[in-house]
Structure 1
Amino acid sequence: MHHKLLFALAIVGILGGCSGLPSEGPSAMDISAADIESLPQTEYIFVPIDANSANVAGQYRLTEFSRNFKVGAPGNGQRLGVGDRIAVTIWEAGENGLFSTVNGKNTNVESVVDENGMIFIPYAGRMRVAGRTVETVRQNIEANLVDKAIQPQVLVNVKGNVSNSAVIVGDISKPGRYPISLRGTRILDLIAGAGGSKYPTYETVVTLKRKDRTATTVLENLFDYPGNNIFLSPNDNILLAHAPRSFTAFGAVDSTKEYRFESRTITLAEALARAGGLDDKRADAGGVFLFRFEDVEVARQLSDKVDLQAVSGYKVPVVYRLNFKDPKAFFYARYFELRDKDILYVANHPTAEFGKFLNIIQPGITSARSVDLITR
């Protein structure tokens, strides 16, 4: 009887230390026990995956370019810059004028905009053209010749458009400097003109640098959200880089590792299948979690506990929970799409922790029983 009492006390002591058992991560209770009410706003927000949250998350739009670069359709004409080569044709109404002869009533003059932004036109002199439109330059030349030529008419054509161009480099078929057309050139126009990306659109990242501003998005977002397909400005720099998207699976799944998307989209159901599904012996079907950062605008639609001081562009840590004990969860999982660098975690079921506990104390139980038999 004495030995049985000691054995029971030992078991109680070990049970008290169950929190120290080896584990791949927190339990479902650890993640959601605080019910988020007591969490400070600097922590994460907790969101059950249901029809509403799946719909809100699905409406997420990547608008990095349209948000950072407010460029509309060009309407003021192209502006000349240093290095541009222009051709000026001047007509006169009569013969024997400054620019007309018996054989013809016009003269062609070619000029390159110098480092000071100036060109020289005979009898019109040196004039500044950098930063001005072709039409403005045409009018200025014509005005300077009114008292010197016979009813002059002027036409200005751009032969070499150096200043109105953009550079594209990286994982592109034909990198280089490309001119921006008079009607305006969008990012996709330039990418197409340069031969397109060497990799699938969903594995290609586009970075646009304009002066001191930079933004990055996935190439396919230029198709999906036309607002991102903005007009280019002179001297824009575009970089295309191969950047496969991925998610990481942890916890009670068949294979814990990082997985590449390998397709344009991947749903939560597909991601779990890629990870081997929930482990029958360990997984808590009610404890499937997805960790990600959401834009503050999206987070506010998911929870009223988002910091009211958070501004646009601020990222809010969000923990989504899916409960597969509810049959509707399978429909939500089919609809809910993953994003790059999402973390998928399946918590261990409490009975799995108890199984670990039994494995630990099994040698002690065997020894205690042996001692009890010997002392009888």
Structure 2
Amino acid sequence: MLRLTCLLLSVLLPGCFLAPGMDMQTDNGFSEIELPTLKNGQLVKEKLPIQTISADLIIQRESARRQTVGTLPMANARSSYRIGPQDRLQITVWEHPELNDPGGEKINPDMAGKVVDDNGDLYFPYAGTLHVAGKTVPEVREELTRELSKYFKKVKLDIRVLSFQAHRVAVVGEVAHPGIVVMTETPLTVAEAISRAGGATKESDLNNVALARDGKLYRLDVQALYEKGLTAHNLLLRDGDVLNIGDQKDSKVYVMGEVGRQQAIQINKGRISLSQALAEAHGVDFNTSRPGDIYVLRAGDLQPEIFHLDAESPDAMILAEQFPLQAHDTLFVGTAGVTQWSRVLNQILPGSFTAIMSQAAMMGM
């Protein structure tokens, strides 16, 4: 048996093709296999460049992240509310009760006022049909006063919106009461819309809020507003916007390879660094791993990326702390060659390889 052990050692140790488990291979700085990538609207296959996690890379990507704020839609000015279809208006003409709602204050509130029709028109006695959609309350008051002045002297009237129905946004996802939120005279912001929908749930991911507008999708970081006071993502909403609050259950990173514990790690409040993920996985096993072979594999939305960190030097962990991971990233720590061979021999030799080598030592081999 011992002779067989020596023979197998002499045959297998020079090679590496029998080593079990995964091992990250590269091809002159590129991935070993071709991956599907979206380029210019077309899916192509290509080998990906492996990007070294360095100070330059972190500075470059942080600068790009801050510039993404400029790609958000321009915040519309805080203008007055503009009347639209299905809005209900209360019109009071002083000293002319016959023009006001019949029954006065005794009328059912649900039936009070006049409703703007689907064409944006409103009928009023003597004035006839007025097109009010898209106009502010002062503009409609001025127009109606002008029309009634043709029949009455010193017309004084007041207009207010009883029911706001024309302008709506949908708030869906992880909020207490998903549904339609109507826009009133007070401009509606992202944060206010979430609040009026009952607030975010415990499962919400406020770092991952999506705004759908005019056929485009924008990613918003509302958590930064709450924690850092950054208002760039607290946009004013428009009629027809759809706001989707993400679910943090889907925000995980996966740690594999030579770590203390391979697992899926939940991202807390949208933030986790490379060093935090390693710590959550009970650290790198320096007895069995190659600290110089730490990889972050990012599938992206058909825009995959591969990053490499050489952590042979302890100060590389500063870079790891400054490198943020994203949801669905895979963190892989390579296995040391001697560890791979130990596992090979434990699989192909009868009994424990360690026990066999101990027995050989006792027999003077």
Fold conserved between structures, TM > 0.5: yes
CA distance in 1, matches of 2:178, 2:303: 37
Residue of structure 2 equivalent to 1:74: 78
Residue of structure 2 equivalent to 1:324: 311
Establish whether residue 229 from structure 1 lines up as the match of residue 234 from structure 2.
Answer: yes
Report how far residue 339 of structure 1 moved. 2.0
| Superposed CA offset, 1:275-308 (max 9, x none) | 12112332001111112267xxxxxxxxxxxxxx
Report how far residue 347 of structure 1 moved. 0.8
Candidates 99, 107, 115, aligned match of 1:112: 115
Q: Give the CA RMSD over aligned residues.
A: 3.8
Work out the number of aligned pairs and report it. 328
Residue of structure 2 equivalent to 1:163: 166
C-alpha contact (below 8 Å) 1:269/1:334 kept by paired residues: yes
Candidates 7, 17, 20, aligned match of 1:19: 17
Q: Which runs of 4+ in 1 moved over 6 A?
A: 37-41, 62-66
When residues 267 and 279 of structure 1 are mapped into structure 2, their CA distance, relative to the original with a 3 A threshold, is: same
Written as runs of structure 1 = structure 2, the 5 A alignment for 1:1-376 is: 14=12, 18-23=16-21, 25-27=22-24, 30-31=25-26, 33-36=27-30, 42-59=46-63, 61=65, 67=71, 69-75=73-79, 77-90=80-93, 100=95, 108=100, 110-199=113-202, 202=205, 205-210=208-213, 212-217=215-220, 219-223=222-226, 225-244=230-249, 245-262=251-268, 265-292=271-298, 316-359=303-346, 362=349
Contiguous gaps of at least 5 residues in structure 2:
38-45, 102-112, 361-365
Report how far residue 361 of structure 1 moved. 5.9
When residues 242 and 218 of structure 1 are mapped into structure 2, their CA distance, relative to the original with a 3 A threshold, is: farther
2:326 is paired with a residue whose SS is coil
- Which of the pair has the greater relative contact order for Cα pairs under 8 Å at 6+ separation? 1
When residues 134 and 249 of structure 1 are mapped into structure 2, their CA distance, relative to the original with a 3 A threshold, is: same
Question: What one-letter code is carried by the residue in structure 2 that aligns with 1:265?
Answer: R
When residues 338 and 232 of structure 1 are mapped into structure 2, their CA distance, relative to the original with a 3 A threshold, is: same
CA distance in 1, matches of 2:277, 2:181: 41
Question: What one-letter code is carried by the residue in structure 2 that aligns with 1:228?
Answer: H
C-alpha contact (below 8 Å) 1:86/1:159 kept by paired residues: yes
When residues 219 and 168 of structure 1 are mapped into structure 2, their CA distance, relative to the original with a 3 A threshold, is: same
Report how far residue 18 of structure 1 moved. 2.6
C-alpha contact (below 8 Å) 1:175/1:194 kept by paired residues: yes
Task: Give me the TM-score of the superposition, normalised by structure 1.
Answer: 0.73
Question: What one-letter code is carried by the residue in structure 2 that aligns with 1:173?
Answer: A
Percent identity (aligned): 23
CA distance in 2, matches of 1:147, 1:281: 95
Report how far residue 122 of structure 1 moved. 1.0
CA distance in 2, matches of 1:177, 1:38: 49
Report how far residue 26 of structure 1 moved. 2.4
C-alpha contact (below 8 Å) 1:202/1:219 kept by paired residues: no
CA distance in 2, matches of 1:122, 1:64: 53
Report how far residue 262 of structure 1 moved. 3.9
Question: What one-letter code is carried by the residue in structure 1 that aligns with 2:58?
Answer: A
Contiguous gaps of at least 5 residues in structure 1:
92-99, 295-313, 371-376
CA distance in 2, matches of 1:337, 1:144: 64
1:18 is paired with a residue whose SS is coil
C-alpha contact (below 8 Å) 1:199/1:242 kept by paired residues: no
C-alpha contact (below 8 Å) 1:170/1:241 kept by paired residues: yes
Report how far residue 71 of structure 1 moved. 3.9
Residue of structure 2 equivalent to 1:309: none
Report how far residue 216 of structure 1 moved. 4.7
